[in-house]
């Protein structure tokens, strides 16, 4: 079995008397594509912020990429990549400038930056757009570039927060090809999505309801366990039990 790169034990986050995340246990392996699902307000974002080292847990334990979630958050940040639909790239920098900027932030050397930039531009077929502003790229290209930038420093894990929202169905599938490739290269992909067909593309997934993980297994197993015809049905069965008014 592959090595675990995310391990959490009873990880909890409370805001006052509100428990946003309640005792979640996760073990996610190297190269795994892990889908992190839940209704709006179930606690996904809070959990993800803790796993990225951006928010200190109230209680529980966790190790991310081999580092402790309380004491080594700066090291965690160096060994993960992050991409969200909302914040991805600087619109008024060119493609090449964005790559250089984010590569620099992730600590790549000048030499590495040069070779990696060219390789990336080549891989994405952006030779003609390399010196154009990111604002002028179609959304699908932005998303692909943004993902590639997030894994430029070969992180152990990449966190993707609804990466494919609003993208056309062909581009969405091309985006998943990039995810498969990253996973083949040994990068763990931790992804949230509202597209249930994308949930099927994950090796395993969890569904959060009211701050707890209500189900965790492969998509196929989940359908068997709940006697559900589709992932949509699985999600509906679990999430409609939610009590909390967000």
Would you tell me which residues interact with other proteins (CB under 8 A)? 38-41, 138-140, 162, 165-171, 173, 176, 180, 184, 194-197, 200-201, 219-220, 230-232, 235-236, 239-240, 242, 245-246
Shortest Cβ distance from residue 180 to other proteins (Å)?
4
Contact yes or no for 35/202 (Cβ under 8 A)? yes
CB of 125 or CB of 169, closer to other proteins: 169
CB of 119 or CB of 220, closer to other proteins: 220
Shortest Cβ distance from residue 130 to other proteins (Å)?
19
Contact yes or no for 145/124 (Cβ under 8 A)? yes
| CA gap 149, 165 in Å, rounded | 18
CB of 61 or CB of 162, closer to other proteins: 162
Residues comprising the chain, all counted: 246
Shortest Cβ distance from residue 109 to other proteins (Å)?
32
Q: Residue 237 — φ and ψ, nearest 5°? A: -60, -40
CB of 78 or CB of 212, closer to other proteins: 212
| CA gap 92, 69 in Å, rounded | 34
CB of 122 or CB of 168, closer to other proteins: 168
What lies within 8 Å, CB to CB, of 20 at 6+ separation is 13, 14, 43, 46, 211
Shortest Cβ distance from residue 66 to other proteins (Å)?
27
Strands 67-68 vs 59-64: parallel, antiparallel or unpaired: antiparallel
Angle made by CA atoms 52, 53, 58, in degrees to the nearest 5: 115
Angle made by CA atoms 236, 9, 45, in degrees to the nearest 5: 50
Shortest Cβ distance from residue 82 to other proteins (Å)?
18
CB of 2 or CB of 105, closer to other proteins: 2
Residue with tokens 């196929």: 220
Shortest Cβ distance from residue 120 to other proteins (Å)?
21
């Amino acid at each position: 079995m592959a090595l675990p790169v995310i391990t959490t034990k009873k990880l909890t986050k409370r805001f006052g008397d509100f428990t946003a995340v309640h005792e979640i246990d996760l073990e996610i392996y190297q190269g795994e594509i892990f889908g992190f699902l839940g209704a709006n307000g179930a606690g996904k974002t809070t959990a993800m912020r803790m796993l990225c080292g951006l928010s200190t847990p109230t209680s529980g334990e966790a190790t991310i990429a081999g580092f402790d979630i309380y004491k080594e958050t700066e090291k965690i940040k160096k060994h993960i990549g992050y991409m969200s639909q909302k914040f991805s790239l600087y619109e008024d920098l060119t493609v090449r400038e964005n790559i250089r900027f984010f590569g620099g932030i992730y600590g790549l050397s000048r030499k590495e930056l040069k070779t990696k930039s060219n390789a990336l531009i080549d891989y994405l077929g952006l030779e003609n757009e390399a010196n154009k502003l990111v604002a002028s790229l179609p959304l699908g290209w932005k998303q692909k570039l943004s993902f590639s930038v997030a894994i430029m420093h070969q992180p152990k894990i990449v966190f993707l927060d609804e990466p494919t929202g609003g993208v056309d169905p062909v581009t969405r599938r091309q985006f998943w090809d990039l995810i498969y490739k990253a996973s083949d290269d040994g990068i763990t992909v931790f992804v949230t999505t509202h597209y249930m067909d994308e949930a099927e593309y994950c090796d395993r997934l969890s569904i959060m309801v009211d701050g707890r993980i209500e189900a965790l297994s492969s998509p196929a197993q989940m359908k068997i366990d709940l006697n559900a015809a589709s992932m949509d049905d699985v999600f509906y069965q679990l999430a409609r039990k939610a009590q909390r008014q967000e």
